[in-house]
Structures are given as structure tokens and as C-alpha cells.
Structure 1
Amino acid sequence: MRWTRLAAGAAAALGAVAAYDVTQTRHAILRNFPVAGHLRFVLEKVGPELRQYIVTSNDEERPFSRDQRRWVYASSKGENQYFGFGTDNDVENAEGWTVIKHRTFAGPGAATARHAEEGEPLPMAKVLGAARGRRLAHRPASVVNISGMSFGSLSANAVTALNEGAKRAGCLQNTGEGALSPYHRQGGDLVFQIGTAYFGCRDEAGRFDLARLRDLVASAPVRAIEIKLSQGAKPGLGGMLPAAKVTPEIAEIRGIPVGVDCASPSRHTAFGDVDSMLDFVELVAAETGLPVGIKSAVGDLTFWDDLVSRMEGLRGSGGRGVDFVNVDGGEGGTGAAPLVFSDSVAYPFRLGFSQVYRRFAQAGLTDDVVFIGGGKLGLTENAVVGFALGLDGVQVGREAMLALGCIQAQRCHTDECPTGVATQSAWLQRGLEPQTKAARVAAYVVALRRDLLKVSEAIGVTHPALIGPDDIDLAEGVRSSASLREVYGYEPGWGELGPALREELLSTGG
């Protein structure tokens, strides 16, 4: 009798826990896997002790180490982001170890006291579209913005949370190539991405339709247009949305068949070379009034040589040119790609971007173009290196997914994402409550901007755009080090704002 009562009590307790789990909104894992989901948090709690003896270290996992994920999780939840007892990285033997060189004395206008506000704004140093007089040119309010992740690849709840989070953080959300869905319309400002399949701006035959583009961007808070040439995780391949994710809703938004693999072409049909691409850029800019730029991974450098050559020849004449360049590193993420493309196609960000920037710098065009980067740049150290090499802003993709609750399960291509981020399963995405996760996305973006300000302050400048290639060294263990300028062959003035932009930034307080 006593055992029966105990069993009944245990069943009732488990039932109460399960009822709480499926109704709470804080943890997607618990909403989708009541009771059993608590095991993950128990293992996470005792993980450091277990890993000391039998599993991996805090810095061995890829693509994001446990320390990196912990920092994003803590930032998004407003928890303690500090780490105790010093670094656990193998500084003595690491190759290419990033060393940020703090200054003893601050430069002009640099803060010397603690920042008054955690949410201090951090706009870009350049005005997007100003160099070519775009009618709707504007200064992005944040140097950290959300990268292109399509509805379809991500769930409706995830896209909703990202857009609401962008609104709260005052940053931009890139739609990704999968068109502008209802879930992008939560009030956050957008960058509309035109991919090779022209989703959202295509006719019945799949060709680019300018009228549809014009109507679409007029119906939403689109602040810029990005022409996607390629992305870091699958350059030269085109996007892939597996059949399992192509629901009737997605098929209607994209204009494709239901339940069939959606493979975007590897290249554009609206243009076929740099010359016709620039014609396309100017056509879109003239029709919409918006700044227009390109997103690309870096492979064959002759494309960049040709682009810079054509822009250089028309400099100062109001001629053709892109308003921004978004360089995606080969280490970038994706929902689905063949292994060889993820591992071996395209340069990693630092090498690829430095090659692209070099060409614009040699032509004297760096102040006329806004440089954006992606590929694990949502981690402060990587972002700082990007700014030192000449970036004006960073885009965060997988880091924003981690803020949503992603646990790096690496099931994005299966439609079985356990946290409801990268799936179209109604059951799994139910666990992702948009309002709760929107707050986390916003908190993460604000935290990254705050850390960028803190590092800028340590270097003695007022804004990350003022960090230069001499402010960062890459160390080879404890044997030697070289500045970014030496490593990437930057000439004096490269990686830095021109005098007029620098003076403008300093005059506005950084």
C-alpha cells in the first residue's frame, strides 16, 4: 500500500512538472520535451566537472566552443558573463592568437569612466548610400546587425523573434534570400536580400520582376537591398531548402512547389558580368531609392579586380557602384550544404576580406563604400579584428540563433531542430516562444555592442571604427607576434577611416 502511494505521488509530481514544462515559455527544450528535458540542464550543470576528466575541453568544440556558447547564452539572458580563474586557452602554444593592445593613455574623446548605459547606442561611422546620393541613404543605427536567414530555413517563430529583437535593439535584420514573409513584419527594420532565385520579386517563370520588387519594399520597412552573389558556407552552389521544410505557406511565399527540394541557381540570370551587375545595381537603386550592395564569399579575385576598376574609373562622377560590400567568410554557417563546400570552398573571413579591402584601398575607394562582414563575427574578439581590418559593421547569424536557444545540435538540414529554431515542425517550433526569445536576441546584440565599446575604450578610442590594424597583434605562442598590418600587408592608412569621416565621428562624440 505504501509503495502504491509513493508511486502515485511520484506520478502526480511528474505530471505537475510536465504540465509546468509545456506551459512555461522560458525554455524551448522543456516545452518540447517535458520532464526529460531537465536532464540537459543537469548535465550542463555538472558538465565542467565531467569534462575535466572524460570529455572535451571548453575550447575544443566546433563551430562554436563551449566558452563561446556560454558567453552568448549569458549575454542573451542578462546573466553573469564573467569567467573566473583566468583563461583556459593554450596561450603558450596557440598560433595566430589575437592580442588586443590596450593603451595606457586614452586618445581624443575616449571615455575614461564606466559607460553610463548598458544599452548605449553604437551607430555606424558611415552613411549607407551617401557616396552615390541615394534618395533613402541613412546611417545604420547599429554596427551589429542580424545576418540573412530565410523563413523556411528558420521557423516562423524564430524569424518573428529575430525581427522583434531587431526592433528592440535598434538594429537591422536581413531577410535572407527566401523572400519577405509575414514574420519579418514585426516592426524591425529590414535589409531585403535578392538571391539567385529572386524569391519575392520574381515572375511566374522565375525571372526577376522589378515591379514586384518595388511594390514589396514599399510595403515594409526595408532600408537597403542586398544582392546575394554567394555565401560563405556554400559559395558558388546556391541555396538549398530541403523538401521536408517546403510547407504550403513557404511554397506560396517563394512561388515554388510544395514538398520538393528548393535549390536556388548557383548564379544570377538578371546579369552575367560585373558590367551588367552594376547596371542592375543602379536600376534597383533608381527604382527604389534605397542603398544597394552585394554579399559574397571570396574566391576568384578577378571579380573584385574588375569591380574596383570599373568603380574607380567613375569615381566622383556619380557613376555606377555598389553602396556596400558584405564579405562572408568561408567559415560561415548554413542550414544545408555539402561537406566539401562547408569545409573547403572560399577563403576564411580574415584572409578573404583583407584581399577585397586591399583592392578598394589601392583605388582610394574605401570611404565611398560601407564594409560589412560575416562568419563568426558575433564574438567580440573576431569582431574587433574585423573592425581593425576595415569593417564598418558586422552581421551575426549563428550567434543570433544561439541567443534564440540553439544548442548547436547541427540538425538544421533535417527539419528536426530540437529547439524549434531551424524547423517547420509545428510541434518543435512551439517550444520557441517569440516574445521571450526576442528579448534575448536584443540583449545579445546590446551586449556585443557594449563589449565593442569596452574594447574600444581599452584601446583608447571612442568607436570600434577607429580601431586600426596596428592595434591588434597575432601571436605565435610565446615566441613572436606581428601586427595585422604586417600580417596582411596593409599600407599606412588602410583599415582606417579617411580624415573627413574620422573628424566627423570624433566631433559627434564617437
Structure 2
Amino acid sequence: MSLWSRAATVSTAAVGGLATYDLLQRQHAILRNYPVVGHLRYVLERFGPELRQYIVIDNDSERPFSRDQRRWIYASAKLENNYFGFGTDNDVEHLEGYPIIKHRTFIGEGPDPDPHVGEHTNVPSVKVMGEARGRAKAFRPRSIVNVSGMSYGSLSRQAITALNRGAAMAHCLHNTGEGGLSPYHREGGDLVFQIGTAYFGCRDSQGRFDIERLKDLVASAPVKAIEVKLSQGAKPGLGGHLPGAKVTPEIAEVRGIPVGEDCISPARHAEFTNTDSMLDWIEMIAAETGLPVGIKSAVGDQLFWQMLVEHMADGQRGVDFVTVDGGEGGTGAAPLVFTDSVALPFRVGFARVYAEFARAGLADKVTFIGAGKLGLPDNAAVAMALGADLLNVAREPMFAVGCIQAQKCHTGGCPTGVATQNEWLARGLDVESKSERVANYVGTLRRDLLKLAGSCGLTHPGLITPDDIELMHGNYSGRPLRDVYGYEAQWRVPTPAQRAAIDELMLGAPDDDPAPPSRDAER
């Protein structure tokens, strides 16, 4: 018998065996009714997302990030040409809520914005974080764009290292996430240490918060601020579960938990039970560490924010910053209903929170940080116009590190080694090149925000107001952000003194490193 005949006999036997199995099994009706060929359905289901991502879906349909958005991030991270030709392919004739930034023909007062700003330009915060409450270690963030909280354990050590080194290159802040301060957060980037409900990294052997451990920890690293996480956009009001199999000796040491044992993160904090006791706890931490202390939360019930403003009204206690996370945030794996239907979208939630502080005359005393898909210039500009002083970005730096939106973060099987503890997968992530891409991305977003501000005749994105952006209703009408979100006339209108201070700040903004080659010269 020839080799081909043997192969045909084996193949026929294999197909026959598979058909017999399909006919006898009882789990899948499709396979019982359509033996052998029915497997094609499961193959298509398995590879459907990849097929749609690369073959079927157009440039603007894909979610959570479209092909055009990812193209812009990838090109920016590589310092490649990130321009687009032949006009927009967005369906601007029919889209609702589409933001349009209104450029100005003349700039009015103040210096002419520099049209040649590049990726190396630092854009510092207008506000000094912690200054209003007299914190001993108040500081002005050097970048309005910063890396949001993503924990070691959720992300690989290679990814965390690349993010931290990239943050150092871009002179921006790197939030540790609630999983503790790992060795991979100590690569030169300034840190915001996040305290979650399990108090990882600052807990005693019984899992209770330990202020002395916190003081030792923040003294051992370049921690610039402390963020108390109340909730996040991906899974607000929901705790977490780290299976014991994932609690390696290294992760156990970083988080302060037993090796190999399941670890539960409660849905809420044990150190305080209401707004009043939360502020007492925050003031204690600020007094003990000297650092600015703030909160991070998605927005749901408005009562919490009303109570917070009420308790801060007398000036005795308060938070130094508020990070508002939109319900569209997505760096934490969660049940589908939480991902889709819990917590308000960023624009609605942030506007409601800002309004509470503005009505009470407290908006200028707090640094507002926006998070939730704000790493794209148009979304970032809207956030600044609504009152954000700083922007926290997470998934966008993940793209810069190598993420391809495979959406396998919750499986441990991230194919690019970003969201996994599988060393074989993570080894493919080259820290040196990816850290440069993180810095390039952050610098490019700052550059584009400066150029957007310049088109409005402004010298800093923090001067963009709700009157500078309209949300369109197709080709029929548009409404300024101020009207859409009910902002009063005096909110988000910089005074002449503030404008002068910002102009001086931008003229003195340092470029700590030699400028990389600018892409503007290529066009």
C-alpha cells in the first residue's frame, strides 16, 4: 500500500471516529445533527473576534477601541506618522454626542501658542496637588497625562517595568494599582500608591490596615501621593478574588498575604463606614505621611458626593484630589453586567461630581483627575473642558506596551504577555523598546492636547472651557458642553490671573531630556 493510500485510510478512519463520537455525545445538539461539519461552527466562534478585528469590521465600528483609535496609539508609540489622509471616515452626518472643538480665528490676549510643540514638551498641572490643604509634601505634577492604576499580578512584571520606565522618561506619574508596590514599580517613575479594600502592601498579618507599614513603604519609594480606591469603572461595588494558585511567593510578599492561599478583596473598606469616618482616616494618613491623599471612585448614587462636599465645606477636613472613573473603564475583569451596566459613563459621572464641588465653591481646592478611555485627544479635550486637571490612562499605555485587544485579560492567556503571569508569554515583551513606546505615547498625547488648545487660541489644555466644545446631533444641531451638562456661567472660566499664571508656567516648563526627532518635520 502506498503512503498516500495509508494516509487516506487513516484520515477516513479519523473522520469516521469523529462522526461516531458526534452522533453519540449529548452535550451539543449541533454536532449530533451535523456530525463533523458542525465543528466548523465552534471554530468560527473561537476565532470570530480575531476574524472580525482584522477582516470584517470597519475602521470605526470595533469596541472598546476602534481600528482607527488603535492605529493612532500604535503609530504614536512608535513615533511613526500618525496622521490620517483623505478626510474623516466617522459618520459625522448621523452621530449623536460627537464632540467638535471650536477653533478660533484670533487668539485675543496672551502669547501666541507655539505651533511647533513636540513629543518632548512637558505639560505640567495647573494646580499644585495638596497645596489647598497645606500638605507637607504638596507638589505640582509635571504631566497632565499619567499612567492609571494597574496592579502587578494582573499585569506581568515585564509590563509593569515597561510602564514605570516609560513614566520616568515621560516625567509622568505611575499609579501602582491596588495590588501593592512591587519591585517592578521601582524603575525610576514617580508613583501614586493606591490603597484598595484589601490594603495590599500596608496590612498586618490579619489583613487590617497598618499605618506604620504604609509609612515605611512610601518612604522607600518615590511615592508622591496616596489614592484610596473606593471603586473602579470596570467593576464598581464589586470585590475581587485572587485564586491561591496565582499567589506566588513574590506576589505574596508584595501584597502581604500567605503564599498559595485564596485572597479575597472585599467590596468595601473596613477602616471606615461612612463619609465622616472616611475623611478622618484620610486626614490621619495625610498627617502621618505628609503626602496628598485622594479618592478614586466610579459614579453611581449621588448622595455620597453630596455628603463629601458637605463635610468638606468647613475646610477642616478634605481630600486633595478626586479621581472619577467612567463606567467605560476596563482594566479590571468583571461580570458582564458590571462591565456593561453599572456606573455612569465618564462625561455624565464627572460632570455631576464637578458640579457638587463647584456649587460649594470647592472646585479650585481639589485636583480633579479623569479616567475611563481618556487617552485619545478628543476624549481628553472634553474631559479637560469639563474640569479635569489631570488625565489617567490605562488601556492606551497597554496598547503601547503591546496589547492587541485580544480581550483575554481574565484568562491569564494574554498572547502579547501584557496581562498574564505566564512567563513563556511574557518573555516576548521587550521591556526596553516598550518603555520607550509608553513615553512616546504619553508625549504625543500631550503634544496633541497642546495643539488642540492652540487651535482655540489657548496656551494650556487646562484653559479649554465647556464653551469651546459642542456635542453634535448629526448635521442638525449642536450644543455647547456647558448647556449639555448644566454648568453655570462662572464654572470653568479662567480668570485673567489664572491665564497669566498658566502662560508663565508653560513658558517655564522644563524639557529635562534632549528632544527626540519630531515627526512634524517629516510632513
Compute the TM-score of the two structures, normalised by the length of structure 2.
0.85
Answer yes or no: is 1:165 the counterpart of 2:162.
Answer: no
What is the letter of the counterpart of residue 325 of structure 2?
Answer: D
Letter in 1 for 2:98: W
Residue-by-residue CA offset, 1:198-250 (whole Å, 9 max, x unaligned): 00000000000000000000000000000000000100102444555432211
In structure 2, what is the Cα distance between the partners aligned to 1:487 and 1:324?
A: 25
Q: Tell me how far apart the structure 2 counterparts of residues 263 and 129 of structure 1 sit (CA, whole Å).
A: 32
CA RMSD of aligned residues (A): 1.7
Deviation for aligned residue 1:115: 2.0
CA distance 1:113–1:248, shift in 2 (3 Å): closer
The answer to whether the 8 A contact 2:327-2:343 is kept is yes
Deviations 1:396-418 (A, max 9, x none): 00001000000000111111000
Per the alignment, residue 384 of structure 1 pairs with 381
**Offset, 1:258:** 3.9
- Distance, in Å, in 2 between the alignment partners of 1:243 and 1:91 is 50
Change (3 A) 1:203 1:225: same
Aligned partner letter, 1:439: E
Q: CA deviation at 1:254?
A: 1.2
Which one-letter code corresponds to 1:153 in the other structure? S
Matched, 1:368 2:361: no
Residue 457 (structure 1) aligned to one of 450, 454, 460? 454
- Cross-structure match for 2:7: none
**In the alignment, is residue 398 of structure 1 matched against residue 399 of structure 2?**
no
Alpha-carbon offset, residue 381 of structure 1: 0.4
**1:107-506 alignment, distance < 5 Å:** 107-243=108-244, 245-312=246-313, 314-315=314-315, 319-497=316-494, 500-506=497-503
Cα distance in structure 1, aligned partners of 2:107 and 2:243: 52
Cross-structure match for 2:14: none
**% identity of equivalent residues:** 66
SS of the residue 2:215 aligns to: helix
Once residues 243 and 329 of structure 2 are traced to their aligned partners in structure 1, the CA distance between those partners, rounded to angstroms, is 19
Shift of 1:113: 4.7
Judge conservation of contact 1:305–1:359 (CA < 8 Å) in 2. Answer: yes
- 1:117-162: CA deviations, max 9, x gaps? 4311100000000001101000000000000000000000000000
**Residues 380 and 117 of structure 1: is their aligned pair in 2 closer, same or farther, counting only changes over 3 Å?**
closer
1:67-82 maps to which residues of 2 (within 5 A)? 67-82=68-83
Counterpart of 2:116, as a letter, is H
1: CA distance, partners of 2:493 / 2:277: 31
How far residue 261 of structure 1 moved from its aligned partner, in angstroms, is 4.6
Evaluate the alpha carbon distance shift between residue 374 and residue 336 of structure 1 in structure 2; reply closer, same or farther with a 3 A threshold. same
Q: Structure 1 residues 420 and 103, CA, compared in 2 at 3 Å: closer, same or farther?
A: same
AA aligned to 2:176 is T
Deviation of 1:433 after TM superposition, in Å, equals 1.2
Flag the 1:242–1:409 CA change in 2: closer, same or farther, 3 A.
farther
Please say if residues 247 and 424 of structure 1, whose CA atoms lie closer than 8 Å, have aligned partners that are also in contact: no
Counterpart amino acid of 2:426?
A: Q
Q: Mind listing any 5+ residue stretches in structure 1 that lack a counterpart?
A: 1-46
SS in structure 1 at match of 2:146: strand
Structure 2: gaps of 5 or more residues = 1-50, 508-523
Amino acid paired to 1:206: G
From the superposition, tell whether residues 239 and 450 of structure 1 become closer, same or farther in structure 2 (CA, over 3 Å): farther
In 1, are the aligned partners of 2:111 and 2:503 still within 8 Å (CA)? Answer: no
SS in 2 for 1:442: helix
Q: Deviations over 1:431-466 (max 9, x none)?
A: 011111100000000000000000000011000000
Structure 1 residues 384 and 136 mapped into 2: Cα distance closer, same or farther (>3 Å)?
A: same
Q: C-alpha deviations, 1:352-373, integer Å up to 9, x for none?
A: 0000000000001111000001
Once the two structures are TM-superposed, the CA of residue 91 in structure 1 deviates from its matched residue by: 0.6
Measure the CA separation in 1 of the matches of 2:332 and 2:304.
27
Which amino acid letter does the alignment assign opposite residue 488 of structure 2? Answer: E
* Residues 281/129 of structure 1: CA separation in 2 closer, same or farther (3 Å cut): same
1:64–1:133 Cα change, 3 Å: same
**Code of the aligned partner of 1:404:** V
Structure 1 pair 227–327 and aligned structure 2 pair: CA distance change class (3 A): same
Q: Which letter does structure 2 place at the counterpart of 1:211?
A: E
Distance 1:93 1:452 in 2: 26
Name the amino acid aligned to 2:384: F
Q: Deviations over 1:289-347 (max 9, x none)?
A: 000000000001000000001111x13xxx11000000000000123111111111100
Cα distance change on mapping 1:269 and 1:128 into 2, 3 Å:
same
SS of the residue corresponding to residue 343 of structure 2 reads coil
> Cα deviations across residues 62-107 of structure 1 (Å, max 9, x unaligned)?
1100100110000000111011111111110101111100000114
Between Structure 1 and Structure 2, whose CA radius of gyration is higher?
Answer: 2
Within the alignment, does 1:508 sit opposite 2:505 as a pair?
Answer: yes
Q: Which residue of 1 aligns with 2:102?
A: 101
- TM-score w.r.t. length of structure 1: 0.87
> Do 1:105 and 1:460's aligned partners in 2 also have CA atoms closer than 8 Å?
yes
Question: Residue type of the partner of 2:321?
Answer: F
Separation of aligned partners in 2, 1:343 and 1:352? 15
CA contact under 8 A between 2:158 and 2:431: conserved in structure 1? yes
Offset of residue 505 of structure 1: 1.5
Q: Please give the alpha-carbon distance, in whole angstroms, between the structure 1 residues aligned to 2:60 and 2:301.
A: 32
3-state SS of the aligned residue for 2:194?
A: strand
- Alignment partners' CA distance in 2, 1:379 and 1:111: 25
Give the SS at the match of 1:296. Answer: strand
The AA in structure 1 aligned to 2:136 is R
The SS at the match of 1:473 is: strand
Residue identity in the other structure for 1:354: A
Residue pair 1:465, 1:496 contacting (<8 A) in 2 also: no
**Contact 1:304/1:359 (8 A) holds in 2:** yes
In the alignment, residue 415 of structure 2 is paired with which amino acid? P
CA distance in 2, matches of 1:116, 1:485: 29
Relative distance call for 1:176 and 1:83 in structure 2 (3 A) is same
* C-alpha separation in 2, matches of 1:398 and 1:68: 12
